[in-house]
Amino acid sequence: MSEIKPVGRLRLGINIDHIATVRNARGGAYPDPVRGALMAEKAGADGITAHLREDRRHISDSDIDNLMDALSVPLNFEMAATDEMQAIALRHRPHAVCIVPEKREELTTEGGLDVARDENRLTHFIAPIRDAGCRVSIFVAADKVQIDAAHKIGAAVVELHAGRYCDAHSEGRSGDSESELRRLQEMARHAHELGLEVHAGHGITYDTVQPLAAFPEVVELNIGHFLIGEAIFRGIQPAIGEMRRLMDEIRADIP
């Protein structure tokens, strides 16, 4: 297999959903996720991710309007594959649209999208979004069948679900975390060889970021919950700055 050189600086996308979670706990306007997004930009975020869930439990429609107006970095609009969300994406035409599975009862996005089971519908679903100029990304498990299906339906990007690796690491299951990491590495390589751009996200912390950031095929990490939590203790800009430092440190070590 060919040697893959890291392509420039690894991008860091900051997911601001949980600033909105805190705001919505009191039903008012504070804290404002757009303010958080602008501070994340200043701290070195290369993009902002926001997930407009069908139940609007955190990000709201007006947050998306305001982010589109305020941001200087690209917005990665996360959404379920529904007609309502497609219409919103087409109205705003964000830089990127990441299609995720969504269940109302889940606490967070639990797994990757089952693209293989829904290939035909998803092909037609993403075509107008792609034609509107958005980069379409599919959030998938590190699974060859799903990556092949994402490629087949015409996506430009796959975001690999890093949750199993990160959970195993945080629960001290080192054998599982190593095998999940190996799987992510193999699948990042496979997706890259198909010509897909490779991102990774979900559950990433300071302790789990470097092994993922070391994969040369991965060009973007999307990180939210841990950093918004860490911002309570350090402030949002130092919290993001430390993640940026860890990513740059490991990339600098790759010959």
Binding site for ligand PXP (CB under 6 A): 15, 17, 51, 78, 98, 100, 108-109, 139, 159, 201-204, 222-226
Residue from 58, 169, 192, 202 carrying the catalytic annotation? 202
Least distance between ligand PXP and beta carbon 5 (Å):
25
Q: Whole-number minimum distance, CB 1 to ligand PXP, in Å?
A: 27
Nearer to ligand PXP, 51 or 164 (CB): 51
User: Measured between alpha carbons, how far is 149 from 220 in angstroms, rounded to an integer?
Assistant: 21
Per the annotation, the verdict on 58 as an active-site residue is: no
**Any catalytic annotation for residue 78?**
yes
Q: Is the alpha carbon torsion for 153, 54, 141, 139 positive or negative?
A: positive
Asked about 199 being catalytic, the answer comes back as no
Our CB check for ligand PXP shows the closer of 198 and 254 to be 198
Give the separation between CA 241 and CA 239, rounded to whole angstroms.
Answer: 5
Between residues 159 and 180, which has the closer beta carbon with respect to ligand PXP? 159
Q: Which of 18, 58, 78, 102 is catalytic?
A: 78
Question: Would you please indicate which residues are annotated as catalytic (active-site) residues?
Answer: 51, 78, 202
